[in-house]
Structure formats: C-alpha cells, structure tokens
Structure 1
C-alpha cells in the first residue's frame, strides 16, 4: 500500500466569539463553527501507534480556541490568525483547509450561516 497523502481533521467545532463589524457583534458575540483539514505526515504514527508521532488534535483545538477568543472585525482576519497560529505551533503542517462559519449572520436571511473558506499550502 502506497499512501499518497495524510490528513488530520477536526469538524464542526463550535465557538462563541466576538467577530463582527458592528459594535453589538463584538460586544454580544455570535456562534461560529470551525472545520479544519490539516495535511500532516502521519505515516510514522500509523506504524508506531504513538501520539508523539502525529498531530494531536486536542492541541490543535487549543490553538484554534485561543485565536477565536480574540475579538476582530472580519472572519477573513480571524481565519488568517488561525492559519498563522497553527503553522507557528505545528511547523510540520504541510497544508491547511479551513472553513469558518458565522451562524445566524445579521443580514436578514434565513440561512444556516455565512463564512470564509481558505486553502493554504504551508
């Protein structure tokens, strides 16, 4: 078996955060969902069964949580901050796919959410 690429993912992580252009959103906050797909070399962990040989998704969550606690105006800025923090904390990440969704955005539409999606080769 020849493995072409390997990924770690975290799907549907919910946060209450203070991201928004309006003062009310930055004061009251809103609910957000983060989906991550991280290209990471996990072949060694597949053989050793040791967490030290992989990317610990609990540690990834803590990095994302820390970023989401910082108030900003734009989802785009928050998404960039997540990518930069992950790359700094885990330099062996090869690529990052991130979706950041604001639930119930204040735009007068009946929708699940609105957000940004970015794909970065590290």
Structure 2
C-alpha cells in the first residue's frame, strides 16, 4: 500500500452561511490524502497503474467551485466523487480550510477534517 498527498490546493470559493460570504467569496486551502496500492506503479512506471493526482486536483477544484453553506458538505462531496471515480482508493483524509473566516476574531483559518474508508 501507499499514500498520495496533495497539500494546500488553493481555491477562491463562495462557501458560507452568511449572504456576504456567497457574494464576496473567500480563500480556501484543501489537503487531501489517499491510500492506495502503489506497488504496480512502482514497478511499471506507468501512470495508468496509479492514482492520477491531476484528477484528484481537478475533483477538488470542481467541487470547491460549487457553493455550499458548510465546509462539511463540500468535503463530503469531494470524498464521494473520489470514491466514485477512483475505485482503487481505499481510504481518504480530507481537510478543507477557510482562510481568514468572518467569525469576529483574529483567526487564520477554520478547518474541517474528514476521514472515510471504502466499505
């Protein structure tokens, strides 16, 4: 087995419960980690034998472009798509961070972390 990580995928998105959040938008950062079998790719050196991290990035960017009220909701959508499109993924950990959230304090980011296993 092995792990593929994508760190700090940056997007400008329109998530939030406040009306101004969905109009003005905010900066977000996404960290994604998947567990999969990397042994065949290590031997063959063929992209078809591994999980394409370009596709992982595309899934994150596309789902972050769809407005949600809650970070939990957008994170869940990303997880569902990854498991649906990449059957070789056995586990996934996803962290979605809203940078400088409007919560009435000096907070660098708020982060939701979700972990799922293929059943």
Q: Identify the TM-score tier after normalising by the shorter chain.
A: over 0.9
Q: Say how many residue pairs are matched.
A: 118
For 2:87, which of 91, 95, 102 is the aligned residue?
Answer: 91
CA deviations 1:22-69 (Å, max 9, x no partner) are 111011111100000100111100001111100110111111111011
SS in 2 for 1:31: strand
1:30-109 matches, cutoff 5 A: 30-109=26-105
Please state how far the C-alpha of 1:111 moved relative to its aligned partner: 2.2
Identify the residue that residue 19 of structure 1 maps to in structure 2: 15
- TM-score, L = length of structure 2: 0.96
SS in 2 for 1:87: helix
RMSD: 0.8
Task: Find the aligned partners of 1:39 and 1:83 in 2 and give their Cα distance.
Answer: 13
Gaps of 5+ in 2: none
Task: Find the aligned partners of 1:33 and 1:95 in 2 and give their Cα distance.
Answer: 20
Moved over 4 A (4+): none
- TM-score, L = length of structure 1: 0.93
